[in-house]
Structure 1
């Protein structure tokens, strides 16, 4: 049986092009397309089939990808969310992860890479490119590895803020310390968790209940 997909994108040509591309994938099929999150809600309420995966754009009118991802997480947690966007900034990735996205791709992705990403999200429950620290997700299944890592009280406090949109200077003000001290928390955690970016730290914080 093929894995079902619903495309949510306000650009009709892009949605149709994606549908055509996915039609060539052996293990996937597109059920229908939606113009925004509200359209998706309406189709779900009208008893249209619930897909295995939602391919979700971020910038949309009426109900954008952030709000849609949060709604899906709260009402259909079994549905995997693959963000497919032109936005590659850390804030967008962090916010989508926090709102429930289990994958993130850019729209300039090659069709072959899209298929690989879809296969990965079905197999592992997540897919993120290297720069978004996908290996964090891969190791989340092994709780014992994390239990061996000693995280200090102040580092735990830092993890509460790392998934927000605050700058490191703003975080330092919240923690009543210098920006340099906050950067040391970041560097120590990256070393302990074998991460390279703030996105990776944010993913870890969200998945492990620090937020």
Structure 2
């Protein structure tokens, strides 16, 4: 039995192209297409729930950020794979924070899309290398608990919370009433203590351990 997918994208040509590409995958099929979050809410009413929702981020009326948050609250068992033209940390972090379990760029190849969908089903998440997938793949529950007990200072924890926001490092420095250099020190210290290499990794750790704002 194939895993059902719903595509949510306001660009009909892209949505139809995705449907046709996925039709060639052995284990997946597109049940229907929606233009935005509101259209999704209406079409899901009374229908069998899909396994996966491929969700565009930039849409009118109800965008991907709002839609994934609604799905997290109402249908937490549905796995959401965000689709975007952008590989910026802010969009990625916000989508993860709102409940997305995967994130892919729209210029990915069909083979990469199929692989991403397979991993989403088997592992519960999929993020390409640039999106710090290794953070998700390598941190087990025991490792998370152990790292939660690390000797983090109050200021490091405060910075860690801000890392899940859309603020730049300079803006975080202003909120924390310190210099950008001090913020860099907090960041580097956390990189070392948590064995991470990117802000995305910090945000993922914060979200997994209840440090998110």
Question: 1:131–1:197: 8 Å Cα contact kept in structure 2?
Answer: no
Query: Residue in 2 aligned with 1:198?
Result: 199
Residues 1:134 and 2:165 aligned together? no
CA RMSD of aligned residues (A): 1.3
- The worse-fitting range, judged by mean Cα deviation, of 47-56 and 143-152 is 143-152
Query: Residue in 2 aligned with 1:143?
Result: 141
- The worse-fitting range, judged by mean Cα deviation, of 59-68 and 198-207 is 198-207
Q: How does 1:43-192 map to 2 (within 5 A)?
A: 43-45=43-45, 47-140=46-139, 142-149=140-147, 150=150, 151-192=152-193
- Count of aligned pairs between the two proteins: 209
Gaps of 5+ in 2: none
Following superposition, the deviation at residue 203 of structure 1 comes to 1.5
Following superposition, the deviation at residue 135 of structure 1 comes to 1.6
Distance in 1 between the 2:156 and 2:130 partners? 22
Query: Residue in 1 aligned with 2:16?
Result: 16
Following superposition, the deviation at residue 79 of structure 1 comes to 0.4
Question: 1:132–1:197: 8 Å Cα contact kept in structure 2?
Answer: no
Distance in 2 between the 1:73 and 1:148 partners? 27
Distance in 2 between the 1:199 and 1:207 partners? 12
Distance in 2 between the 1:125 and 1:18 partners? 21
Distance in 2 between the 1:147 and 1:39 partners? 40
Query: Residue in 2 aligned with 1:2?
Result: 2
Question: 2:57–2:63: 8 Å Cα contact kept in structure 1?
Answer: yes
Distance in 2 between the 1:28 and 1:181 partners? 49
Following superposition, the deviation at residue 24 of structure 1 comes to 0.8
Gaps of 5+ in 1: none
TM-score by length of 2: 0.93
Question: 1:36–1:64: 8 Å Cα contact kept in structure 2?
Answer: yes
